[in-house]
Amino acid sequence: MVSLEVSLCGLKLRNPTVLASGIRGNNAYLLIRAAKEGAGAVTSKSCSLLPREGHNNPTMMGCQPFMLNAIGLSNPGVDEEVEEIRIAVKRAGVPVIASIFAHSVEDFAKLASRISEAKPHMIEMNISCPNVHREGKMFSASPSDAASAVAAAREATSAPISAKLSPDVPNIGEIAAACVGAGANCITAVNTMGGMLIDAYARRPVLFNEYGGVSGPALKPIALKAVYSIRKAIGPDVPIIGTGGGASGLDAVEMIMAGATAVGVGSAVVLRRNAFREICNEMKAFMKENGYSKISQLKLES
């Protein structure tokens, strides 16, 4: 009998797949839909203190083996988001992770406090969005900045916190360790990686924002390395949600072998039907064929 159950910060997940932030997580209904489609946990789209329109179109370009987007973190603001999260927590039937982003340490604290009123099972701090470049550098660009943001949120909430990190840094393990030292209970790795496409005929960037975040299968090797590096840096006890390029059961197995506790699923939800169920079925088939009965047995040999 193969079991896909995992524990994430004391939360029991029926399987290790987690709907990644920004993918069909705009409202409670879409979070509930992902849960019904088989996700082990769901993450909302990142919200800010005040409503934000985001970037003008075009905001996304999809082609194999990657997707490129610069949505611009559009969201209705935390006051409306609290109500959506509250509904999702009540009806989804799986752990709900509320994602937040801010441009100051003080605002991260305010957001963590406000979103906690909805009683999410975890708060994910998006300190690593790659496509809001006109507003300054990412908090996740340095250990000290990342730690400052996490520490502020930690004082403002008792909910478990996961820090979502960027692959566009020299030493992601060092930054993850700083986040854990500041009070993060979990690490989400990774966010999309900065990228760009140019229309040679139009002689201009494809996206309105000029560049955005690369996701999809092309991100997988980068995410695997990041997860592996983070696991070596923070030790075996702090969970990692490995996110980036996971589109199949084998991808998910490899992410867990690299050191992830759970696997974020983002672009795969767009690229294939019934992504969560299919990924889980493929994981089970691999585990059964290779003599594994539980997720904890999936790890690289030392």
Query: Which residues 6+ apart lie within 8 Å of 104 measured at CB?
Result: none
Q: Is 179 a catalytic residue?
A: no
Helix ranges restricted to H, 162-265: 172-181, 220-234, 249-258
Q: How far apart are CA 22 and CA 43, in angstroms?
A: 8
Looking only at the bridges linking them, the beta strands covering 240-243 and 11-13 are unpaired
DSSP conformation class of 131: T
Token pair 């935390």 is found at: 78
Q: How far apart are CA 281 and CA 169, in angstroms?
A: 34
Catalytic choice (47, 129, 179, 186) = 129
Cross-strand bridge partners of residue 13: 6
Tokens (6 digits) for 255: 């992410």
Do 175 and 165 meet the contact criterion of CB atoms below 8 Å apart?
yes
What region, left, alpha or beta, does residue 63 occupy, with left being phi > 0 and alpha being psi -120 to 50 degrees?
beta
Do 186 and 233 meet the contact criterion of CB atoms below 8 Å apart?
no
Q: How far apart are CA 115 and CA 122, in angstroms?
A: 10
Q: How far apart are CA 17 and CA 94, in angstroms?
A: 11
Q: Which residues are catalytic?
A: 129
